[in-house]
Amino acid sequence: MKTDVVLGLQWGDEGKGKIVDVLTPSYDVIARFQGGPNAGHSLRFDNKDIVLHTIPSGIFRNNVTNLIGNGVVIDPVILMEEIKVIEAMGVDVTTRLCISKRAHLIMPTHRILDAASEAAKGKTKIGSTLKGIGPAYMDKTGRNGLRIGDILSPHFKDRYDTLKEKHIGLLSQFDYDYQVEDYEKQWFDSIEALKQFTFVESEYLVNERLSKGNRILAEGAQGSLLDIDFGSYPYVTSSSTICAGVCTGLGVAPGKVGDVLGIFKAYCTRVGSGPFPTELDNDTGENIRQIGHEFGATTGRPRRTGWLDLVALRYAVMLSGVSRLIMTKADVLDTFDTIKVAVAYRINGKETHQLPFEIDEPIEPVYKEFKGWKKPISGFHAEEELPYELMNYVRFIEKEVGVPISIISVGPDREQTIIR
């Protein structure tokens, strides 16, 4: 068997959580492979709303293993808080969750370093979620990090103290006040609590399950345009958010990657700083924000909004070899008279279909305009019910991107999903 993949193709928040929850009944294992508690994946079912940060979005379905892979960075406090919420809903998390021994830990001082670094950047700040993601991945690649498997070592506390001292040295270079003790206490309590969960050599688990014929779905976090290599650097996150991240983040060989499902919103959003060519800093943008409830699931920050950008979407599809597309939130545009889509960029008077290297290049999007469908679509369950104007929009995107749209999501609930 092969591992199928769900990826966000924009700047995150495309609806990955919802879609993974919908697809889970067809899989035996759901695995996160990168990112950490910077992610906020929303699920809605049975009139309940849940936001997951570290736990895979398959956790609410029976008989499915949910794996936090080696590529993920874990804050034990946030993970334990999530587990408590899910357990309070009657789910036995201990039997459904496995954590890779190779996943790295986010320490309290990583969070402080993140905040100090952002504060020092002032206007040029990344707009990080301040969860300590960047500093934790820096220690991983700098070969200093602490991993989940280390929790069981008698030397764990010594290693923690050594790395904490190093962080305190780094913090002395910032003019930044901080207090670590309260969070540190919660952190060690949560580390103790985590010991009741199953720590695994996840690369073996994944490959053995594939050999046995199990179906695995890898759940991406963030989006392709926040990728450490291909995003709008430095306004990116610190992990590989594209399909390649599945190989390193789970130990899956490239030949064992199956279907790559790419999710995009019918428009675009971005939270945090960095270029956003089709951004609508006007009433239309505000309308999208209000109707689409575009406020961060992790930080509550208002998300920036804009039209769909096909230059960026084609780029994301190219980087990950996306085989099927999933479009979410078209229902947010139900009341719009017209809808625009960027088909190219004009940079210094020249038209291009490529994302420029320079992030401060003045980009003027070249738009194609579509007639709106002007009717509510959230109650529809079949493709045949969808308005002609929406299907026109769908077919145009498929033609421009060269990949079929196989799922159209028309609302936040599990049930509001049209599989074509």
Contact residues: Mg ion, CB under 5 A: 13, 40, 297
CB of 91 to ligand GDP, least distance (A): 19
21 is catalytic: no
What is the three-class DSSP state of 367?
Answer: strand
> Alpha-carbon distance 272 to 108, whole Å?
22
Q: Which does 320 bind (CB under 5 to 8 A by kind): Mg ion, ligand IMO, ligand GDP, none?
A: none
Nearer to ligand IMO, 19 or 401 (CB): 19
User: Is 5 a residue that touches ligand IMO (CB under 6 A)?
Assistant: no
Which among 229, 240, 203 is positioned nearest to 8, based on CA atoms?
240
Q: Which does 328 bind (CB under 5 to 8 A by kind): ligand IMO, ligand GDP, Mg ion, none?
A: ligand GDP
Nearer to ligand IMO, 2 or 121 (CB): 121
Among 15, 76, 134, 145, binds ligand IMO (CB under 6 A): 134
Residue tagged active-site, from 28, 41, 53, 227: 41
Q: Which does 222 bind (CB under 5 to 8 A by kind): Mg ion, ligand IMO, ligand GDP, none?
A: ligand IMO
Q: Cα dihedral angle (304, 305, 311, 313), rounded to 10 degrees?
A: 90
13 is catalytic: yes
Range 25-64, binding ligand IMO (CB under 6 A): 38-41
> Alpha-carbon distance 71 to 220, whole Å?
11
The amino acid that residue 381 corresponds to is H
C-alpha radius of gyration, the chain, whole number: 21
For 283, residues 6+ apart whose C-beta sits below 8 A from its C-beta are none
> Alpha-carbon distance 336 to 63, whole Å?
42
CB of 418 to ligand GDP, least distance (A): 10
CB of 412 to ligand GDP, least distance (A): 3
Map residues 334-373 to x or -, x wherever contact with ligand IMO holds by CB under 6 A: ----------------------------------------
In DSSP notation, 174-207 reads S------HHHHHHHHHHHHHHTTSEEE-HHHHHH
Among 44, 127, 284, 334, binds ligand IMO (CB under 6 A): 127
> Alpha-carbon distance 391 to 5, whole Å?
25
Angle at 339 between CA 333 and CA 342, to 5 degrees: 125
Q: Strand ranges (DSSP E) for 266-303?
A: 268-270
Nearer to ligand IMO, 234 or 379 (CB): 234
Category of 330 on φ-ψ map: left (φ > 0), alpha (ψ -120 to 50) or beta = alpha
CB of 19 to ligand GDP, least distance (A): 8
* Residue ranges binding ligand IMO (CB under 6 A): 8, 11-13, 38-41, 126-129, 131, 133-134, 221-223, 226, 237, 271-272, 297
Q: Which residues are catalytic?
A: 13, 41
